[in-house]
Amino acid sequence: MAAVRVIAAANSAETSSAFLYRGQVCLKQRHQSLSFGLRKVVQKRLFSCRALYKPEEIQIKEGQPETLDYRVFFLDHSGKKVSSWHDIPLHLGDGVFNFVVEIPKESSAKMEVATEEQFTPIKQDTKKGKLRYYPAAATHRMRIISLRLPMLLPDMLQHQLEFGLLPQTWEDPSFANSEVEGAFGDNDPVDVVEIGETRAKIGKILNVKPLDALAMIDEGEFDWKIVAISLDDPRASLVNDVDDVEKHFPGTLTAIRDWFRDYKIPDGKPANKFGLGNKPASKDYAVKVITETNESWSKLVKRTIPAGELSLL
């Protein structure tokens, strides 16, 4: 395989800078201001990548589901494999992002992007050579929570939300986040929990808008959980921030947080913790997280940060 080619180029400091990555023209745009309470944070905007790859294109499956060999790859129009992490553009404009489904509703197999394999396909996670599933006890815990909160979506009765990732983001393991107890990044793309009604297949790409962020701390590493909703959902126009989620999906954020806190307990591990006061942060904060992790990803693919065993192909 040819090595990843990254070419850096710079425009005016007042406008934007750009780099070319695997056929994508990535533009780093002007600074912007975000307000958090009484604080105003000036930060850089997202790297907006205009990719040759189009998300509506083909996915192929290799191997049988629930086996060690099972993989879901993405193809371009020529039939060549592309990366589900690096080649799908993140930013679509107007606060809308691409979201890659890893774990659909009504499933318990722990699927994830294989960040260390070429073209980063989606596979089932393993532990000591065995396939991983969400523990039955954790699923039971979500059922109990849901029964106490009868206004939750029916799919929540089996903890079934859509789980996946934001492409072209990365939680840098060398970065200690002072806002999240100084925890370091978990070396993965940013996770998304999509709260809409439709059940998507593994590898489906949805257009979503972020609503809030949960700062999960898993064994000392921060592991952001962005709560979002697909634009195709009938209630998408009603929810634009964390307060709207509580109004139109009452109890959902509490159930999501508690499930992520407790789901490893059946395996004998301690409960996960949450930063930021154990509460979901605002949409603006979620966008801040996406922006920062997108910048970390850009440094990764430009090789200004060591990739270690991560695949950049």
pLDDT in tens, 149-171: 444 433 343 345 889 999 999 99
* Eight-state DSSP code of residue 188: S
29 versus 131: the higher-pLDDT residue is: 131
Active site (annotated) includes residue 134: yes
Residue 186 Cα distances to 12, 163, 167, 216, 224, angstroms? 34, 17, 15, 11, 9
Question: What whole-number distance in Å separates Cα of residue 164 and Cα of residue 197?
Answer: 15
| Tens digits of residue pLDDT in 89-129 | 999 999 999 999 999 987 889 999 999 999 999 999 998 89
Residues 6 or more apart from 58 whose CB is under 8 A from it? Answer: 74, 75, 79
Q: How confident is the model at residue 42 (pLDDT cuts 50, 70, 90)?
A: very low
Q: In percent, how much of the chain has pLDDT > 70? A: 73
Q: What tokens appear for 207 in the block? A: 């257009």
41 versus 181: the higher-pLDDT residue is: 181
Residue of 21, 53, 70, 134 with catalytic role: 134
| Tens digits of residue pLDDT in 188-202 | 999 999 999 888 999
Residues 6 or more apart from 156 whose CB is under 8 A from it? Answer: 142, 146, 252, 255
Residue 93 Cα distances to 45, 59, 112, angstroms? 11, 24, 26
Q: How confident is the model at residue 242 (pLDDT cuts 50, 70, 90)?
A: very high
Question: What whole-number distance in Å separates Cα of residue 14 and Cα of residue 289?
Answer: 23
**Per-residue pLDDT at 5 exceeds 60:** no
Q: What is the separation of C-alpha 147 from the centre of its chain, rounded to a whole number of angstroms?
A: 28
**Per-residue pLDDT at 247 exceeds 70:** yes
Q: Do 56 and 35 touch, CB atoms closer than 8 A?
A: no
Instruction: Please identify which residue in the block is written with the tokens 């970390």.
Output: 296
| Tens digits of residue pLDDT in 209-220 | 999 999 999 989
Give the SS3 label for residue 209. strand
Which of 88, 78, 10 is CA-nearest to residue 49? 88
pTM for this entry: 0.81
Residue 6 Rama label (left phi>0; alpha psi -120 to 50; beta): beta
- pLDDT score at 22: 59
**Per-residue pLDDT at 57 exceeds 80:** no
